[in-house]
Amino acid sequence: MAEDNSKWLPLLSAALGADAMSTDPEVLNAFSHDETEDLHAMPHVVCRPSSTEEVAAIMRIAHEHGIPVTPAAARTGLSGGAIPVQGGISLSMERLHRILSIDEANFQAVVEPGVINQVFHEACKEKGLFYPPDPSSWGTSTLGGNVAYNAGGPKAVKYGVTSAYVLNLEVVLPNGDILWTGANTLKNSTGYNLTQLFVGSEGTLGVITKIVLRLIPYPKVHFTLLAPFASAEMACAAVARIFQAGVTPSGLEFMERDAIDWTL
């Protein structure tokens, strides 16, 4: 059972500063829901840390006083993962939004969890590099949220989902301890694979504060093909034949006639 707010809210304020936390009803309401329909729950406070150390301070206070913590990123999810169903602290990662490095020689990048997927994609493209995972919300969703949900998108058919590109994570554990889960190498077969344990864990194991991502060279050729079929069965058969021919497209989408008419 969480303690009375008056005991732990002042501790958060002392650790973060008043500008990094809010109990304003409008702010609390904004963090009471994501894109999931008909599901919301109010937090007691919204915290906006700016560093790993501040995240650790929040987690230590929450751990000592039995306060539930729900990490929140852009809140674009459809499964209620960012909703603070037990109240407590809604931990916003929006201020941790820096691209710390893009290493062209080693095809790696280090980012904070609040970086928008599309912003990162474009920054990589400027250096001739490519980060393939492209969830439908890539223009608003964050890399931290993508990692927490192991997000994919249309390009997953060729390139795979987020887990294929995560090399290492800095995480804050529930007791406030900070650790790195792996190594910044393509091959790391030493010990337990903690990195992949955290990918897709939806914030249940700890709070992601830094992400090391694998990149690939940016594709040199792009083209789009629209092919009509007389039936859905014929379209599905064509998909199998494409792969059997040794061609792996970056995406395959099926659209009915009405959808095409509405789009064109």
% of the chain residues with pLDDT over 70: 99
Position 215 confidence tier, pLDDT thresholds 50, 70, 90: very high
Please report the pLDDT score of residue 238 as a whole number. Answer: 95
Q: Encode pLDDT of 37-96 as tens digits.
A: 889 999 999 999 999 999 999 999 999 999 999 999 889 888 888 999 999 999 999 999
User: Is the CATH number of domain 5-92 3.30.43.10?
Assistant: yes
Please report the pLDDT score of residue 146 as a whole number. Answer: 97
Q: Looking at this protein, which amino acid is placed at residue 51?
A: S
Q: Encode pLDDT of 169-214 as tens digits.
A: 999 999 999 999 999 998 888 889 999 999 999 999 999 999 999 9
Asked if residues 148 and 141 have their Cβ atoms less than 8 Å apart, the reply is: no
The pLDDT of 105-132, averaged and rounded, is 98
The pLDDT of 121-138, averaged and rounded, is 96
User: How many other C-beta atoms can be found within 10 angstroms of the C-beta atom of residue 33?
Assistant: 18
Position 3 confidence tier, pLDDT thresholds 50, 70, 90: low
CA atoms of 217 and 241, how far apart (whole Å): 27
% of the chain residues with pLDDT over 90: 78
Architecture, CATH, for domain 99-217: 2-Layer Sandwich (3.30)
Quote the DSSP letter at residue 2: P
Please report the pLDDT score of residue 2 as a whole number. Answer: 54
The domains of the chain are located at 5-92, 99-217, 232-263
Read off φ and ψ for residue 45, nearest 5 degrees.
Answer: -155, 150
DSSP track, 55-119 = HHHHHHHHHHHT--EEEESS---SS-TT--TT-SEEEE-TT---EEEEETTTTEEEE-TT-BHHH
Residue 154 has pLDDT above 60, yes or no: yes
Quote the DSSP letter at residue 162: G
Asked if residues 236 and 245 have their Cβ atoms less than 8 Å apart, the reply is: no
Higher per-residue pLDDT: 223 or 54: 54
CA atoms of 151 and 251, how far apart (whole Å): 15
**pTM reported for the whole predicted model:** 0.91
Q: Encode pLDDT of 18-38 as tens digits.
A: 899 999 999 999 999 998 888
Please report the pLDDT score of residue 161 as a whole number. Answer: 97
Mean pLDDT of the chain: 93
Please report the pLDDT score of residue 159 as a whole number. Answer: 95
Read off φ and ψ for residue 245, nearest 5 degrees.
Answer: -80, 0
Please report the pLDDT score of residue 1 as a whole number. Answer: 44
The pLDDT of 259-263, averaged and rounded, is 80
Please report the pLDDT score of residue 147 as a whole number. Answer: 98
Please report the pLDDT score of residue 81 as a whole number. Answer: 87
Residue 261 has pLDDT above 80, yes or no: yes
Radius of gyration of the chain (CA): 21
The pLDDT of 143-172, averaged and rounded, is 96
